[in-house]
Amino acid sequence: MHRSLLAHRLAPLIVGLLSVSLFLLIWEIAGSTETVRSELVSYPTQILSAFKRLILSGELAQNTLISLREFGEGFAAAIVIGIACGVAFALSRTIRYLFEPIFVALYTAPIIVFVPVLVVWFGIGTTSKSIAVFLSAFIPIAINTTTGIEEISESWVRALRAFGASRTQIIFKAMLPGAIPSIMAGIRLAIGRGIVVLIAGEMYVSMSGIGRLISIYSVAPDGVPEIFVLVAVVATFGYVCVLLFSLIESGLTPWRSHS
């Protein structure tokens, strides 16, 4: 048990940390000794002090909160509506044939192109960005819900039907639980899409948010360290999101983690 814990959990972590530290060290030396031009690539300690500045000025907290809110609202709606659409598609051919073309179009089109229109409709505030997040995130969730339900075992549904289960009971007690792994895969896909459109949308047309900060610092003189901080914040957020949903998934699918 001890050995395997070390091998499976700790060893990759240690190796990972070592490689990251080594990378940071080389970057620090190269940047601070001006081996490469530091105003272009910056270096870790410089980035750290930019981080401090952003925190002390309150800019970071304020804009992070706004981005979080935009993402949270849009993504929550995407999960609820995405799953509902997915179920409707799985249950009704008609609904599916009616809406599938729109979905495919929305799925393949870069949602960022709708942001200017959304801003015209909903204003430059947070709503337009939430809706952009929603639009880009709910489709993979819907599609994966549909395929997840279509792929569940016929025998589960039959077992419920044999007991006289209602349609609603079949949806909530066989279809959705059976489709959870697929729905979760859709959600992971949606996280990436949502973050991209959020940051790009904020950079493009907005008054606030992390994306807005990035676009401000990208034209500011000596803004490179700040941009690195902001990129790290976005990356961390994406990572935490994925981790969170993986945890939720293993909580919801205890039968899979055992096998």
Partner 1 sequence: MAQLEVKDLSLSYPGSRSGSTFLALDKVNVSIEKGEFVTIVGPSGCGKSTLLMLVAALLRPTSGAVQLNQKDVTKPGPDRALVFQDFALLPWRTVIKNVELGLELKKVPSAQRRKEALKYLDMVELGKFCNHYPHQLSGGMRQRVGIARALSVDPEVLLMDEPFGALDAQIRQVMGLELLRIWERERKTIIFVTHDIDEAVYLGDRVLVMSASPGRVIQEVKISLPRPRDLSLRNKAEFTAYRETIWNLLEKQVQANGAWRQDSALS
Per CB under 8 A, residues contacting partner 1 are 153, 155-156, 158-165, 169, 173-174, 177-178, 180, 252-255, 258-259
Min dist CB 90 to partner 1, Å, is 18
CB 114 within 8 A of CB 135: yes
Min dist CB 175 to partner 1, Å, is 11
Min dist CB 185 to partner 1, Å, is 16
Min dist CB 85 to partner 1, Å, is 23
Greatest Cα-to-Cα distance within the chain, rounded to the nearest angstrom: 76
Give CA–CA dist 81/137, Å, rounded: 10
66 class by beta-carbon count within 10 Å (0-12 exposed, 13-18 middle, 19+ buried): buried
Looking at the Cβ atoms of 174 and 227, the one nearer to partner 1 is: 174
Min dist CB 184 to partner 1, Å, is 13
Min dist CB 252 to partner 1, Å, is 8
Both ends of the chain: CA-CA distance in Å?
Answer: 17
Task: Look at residues 153, 217, 159 and name the one whose alpha carbon lies nearest to residue 181.
Answer: 153
Looking at the Cβ atoms of 58 and 254, the one nearer to partner 1 is: 254
Looking at the Cβ atoms of 23 and 172, the one nearer to partner 1 is: 172
Looking at the Cβ atoms of 174 and 191, the one nearer to partner 1 is: 174
Which residues are CB-contacts of 90 (< 8 A; sequence separation ≥ 6)? 145, 146, 149, 150, 175
Task: Look at residues 241, 217, 213 and name the one whose alpha carbon lies nearest to residue 74.
Answer: 241
Looking at the Cβ atoms of 1 and 162, the one nearer to partner 1 is: 162
CB 199 within 8 A of CB 234: yes
Min dist CB 247 to partner 1, Å, is 17
Give CA–CA dist 52/126, Å, rounded: 26
Looking at the Cβ atoms of 32 and 253, the one nearer to partner 1 is: 253
Give CA–CA dist 82/41, Å, rounded: 41
